[in-house]
Structure 1
Amino acid sequence: MTPFPATAWLPSDQEHWTTAELEHLGIGRSARRRLLTTGDIVRLRPGLFARRRAAPAPGMRDLADQTLHAHVHRSAARPDAAYVYSHTSAARLRGLRFLRDSSTIHVSCTSNPCTRRLGAGVRTHIVHLPEDHVENIAGIRCTTLERTIIDCARIMPLEDAVILADQALGLGADLALLLRMLEGMTGYRGVVNARRVVELADPRSESVAESRARLLFHLEGLPNPIPQWEVQTPIGRRFLDFAWPEKMLAAEFDGEVKYFGSTPTDRALYEERLRERHLMELGWRFVRLTWSDLERPGEVRRRITSALRGPAPPPRT
């Protein structure tokens, strides 16, 4: 007799299930193993499964996004959940980009909840959150943008946290409120690093790469450039990623998005060369950086220092 397929018990209106939910549907360990073998479901992480069409594309960022959204989906079914999404999970819910992605889910609550209810791969932070540090995003309770950045800065490396803080300020995070929050957290673990992150953050960075480059300049002791420096050219306003105007020197980051984004590559290359030609005719010099250059800070410092020492050409109108 042919066994009844386990897929018959999978609700058509659901994409994600925990182990307990599959057990409740009558899909035990052997049936789950069969579904995993046939590819009808995939394991996102221990204790969490998804229909194959809902599985993330390869890549840690996709996996982290999908894992968090699956957990949020489970939480929506439990309105009495006594936790708040915080730290990197709250940042991810807002669409912030990370230098290094992780599928760990962060929640904050006043007491240690049942680990089984939270699921595997969840890190709990026991803390009392004032009500004005919590808000709803599409019905999901999470920490405010300002509290999220402070929490991330307390547990993340400086470079990773500055990248998030730049984006947060660009989204409208209140700098004065950030500073007031930090004043009230004296003595908290990681607050010294958080203060430094807030001091270094700049909303003018338009990408993860630009945030990394700006921080590299600072840590290598280079004179601070002006991000997004505006220049009037014969073909209109153009912006330089970083500029030392008194030296007529610009540092530009060449990333894949610039040349392989929505604009066809040939067109993007033509427009970039046209832009650079007009800027060079005005006297601007360029140091071009790539993602791999950011892994060699000493070499970047040498190139920019050498360019800054050279005589600046007279600006031309």
Structure 2
Amino acid sequence: MDPELIFTADAEAHGTDRRALASNCRSGQLIRLRHGVYMQADEWQGLSPWEQQRVRIRAAVEQGHGQRVLIQQSAAVMWGLPVIGNSAEVLLLAVPPIHGQRRGGLHWVERQLLEPLTALEDVPLTSRAQTVLDMAAYLPFEHAVPAMDHVLRPDPVHGLPPLGKERLRETATNLPSQVKRLRARQVIDFADARSESAGESYSRAVIHRHRFLPPELQQQFNTSAGRFRVDFYWREQRLVGEFDGAVKYGRGDAALAPSWDTLRQEKRREDAIRATGVSFVRWSWDDVSRQPQHPESLVQRLVRAGLPRARRR
């Protein structure tokens, strides 16, 4: 359940006034989410980064007097879909002639409705299918793939069923131009439900963009220490690729840092897989996000590992 929001317009209902809210914010008791909207600081600090983003978006929607309909990345956050990068703006559906208007961290964008609008916890937004198709049509390929991979799998956290590729392809035919339809179709065709995290999906899209040979996903290895599964495997090169997510190794949050026993088990797992005669290449969020020319980028790591690229057509 999302935490309670405190609006300055309703300050008296909370037994306070605008000055008291501002004072409590300066003292650290409250967090200001946007102009005129606050919440308790201890509740805010207990939220994960993606939950904080969700609360900020909800604050923007609930503060408005008229209906505000979330689209694209903002709708994706509410649906629990992975979004690459953090946008300071909340994206809202525009009704002509206000297309392109920006105000107070809000951006109204005109979009052609592919399916009827829906609501999630009383927040109006585009459907899951439209949300991922708009992302595919208007965002860079690498940024659209993680969300598309996600909707192909059941979502037990939100109790949502998977979406089928045929339904997505059919819905994409209603996009407003041939270019947008082609972009969406490319993402749908490339999407793979076997990618188990946003980092794996994003990595796979970068690998594809830079024309490296496509990997096998979730390959099983029988070793002397047990049976293990790896993120990526290039069979001909005998090369294993592993994405090390931030949460897995606790980066950016000491509370998520793994125990020594967890790290030791991971080292034991890698040594057992290496003993089957394969080599390893590992990368993190930082590596996959770096420019291709950076010596520690995913691209350069794969080059050093000897992974060939496909010829240009």
The answer to whether TM tops 0.5 is yes
Residue from 92, 105, 129 that aligns with 1:121: 105
Partners of 1:280 and 1:200 lie apart in 2 by: 29
CA RMSD of aligned residues (A): 3.7
User: Aligned to 1:278, which of 272, 275, 287?
Assistant: 272
- Mark the runs of 5 or more structure 1 residues left unpaired by the alignment: 1-13, 114-118, 311-317
Largest Rg, 1 or 2: 1
Q: Shift of the alpha carbon at 1:120? A: 4.0
In the alignment, the residues of structure 2 paired with residue 250 and residue 51 of structure 1 have an alpha-carbon distance, to the nearest angstrom, of: 46
Query: Could you say which residue in structure 1 is the equivalent of 2:302?
Result: 304
Residue 142 of structure 2 corresponds to 159
- Percent identity, aligned pairs only, is 27
Q: TM-score, normalised by structure 1?
A: 0.73
* Residues 92/193 of structure 1: CA separation in 2 closer, same or farther (3 Å cut): same
Go from structure 1 to structure 2 and tell me whether the alpha carbon gap of 1:305 and 1:55 turns closer, same or farther (over 3 Å shift).
closer
Q: Deviation per CA, 1:155-183: give whole Å up to 9, x if none.
A: 43332222222222234222111111222
Matches within 5 A, 1:183-202: 183-187=173-177, 190-202=180-192
8 Å CA contact 2:212, 2:307 repeated in 1: no
What residue is the counterpart of 1:11 in the other structure?
A: none
* Number of equivalences: 288
- Partner of 1:85, secondary structure, is coil
Residues 167 and 203, structure 1, Cα contact 8 Å, conserved in 2: yes
What is the deviation of 1:72? 5.4
Structure 1 residues 189, 89: closer, same or farther in 2, change over 3 A? farther
Give the alignment partner of residue 73 of structure 2, picking from 74, 88, 111. Answer: 88
> How is 1:1-317 mapped onto 2 (pairs within 5 angstroms)?
15-22=4-11, 30-55=19-44, 61=50, 63-71=52-60, 82-108=67-93, 110=95, 120-127=104-111, 129=113, 132-171=115-154, 172-187=162-177, 190-260=180-250, 264-294=258-288, 295-298=290-293, 299=295, 300-305=298-303, 307-308=305-306
Are the equivalent residues in 1 in contact too, given 2:91–2:109 (CA < 8 A)?
A: yes
Change (3 A) 1:82 1:221: same
Q: For each residue in 1:244-274, what CA deviation from the matched residue of structure 2 results, as whole angstroms up to 9, or x when unmatched?
A: 1133211122334334497953222222222
In structure 2, C-alpha distance between the alignment counterparts of 1:84 and 1:271, rounded to whole Å? 46
Task: State TM-score, norm by structure 2.
Answer: 0.74
Change (3 A) 1:26 1:263: closer
Contact 2:50-2:77 at 8 Å conserved across structures: no
The answer (yes or no) to whether the contact 1:97–1:208 under 8 Å persists in 2 is: yes
Structure 2 unaligned spans of 5+: 155-161, 309-313
Deviation at 1:96, TM superposition (A): 2.3
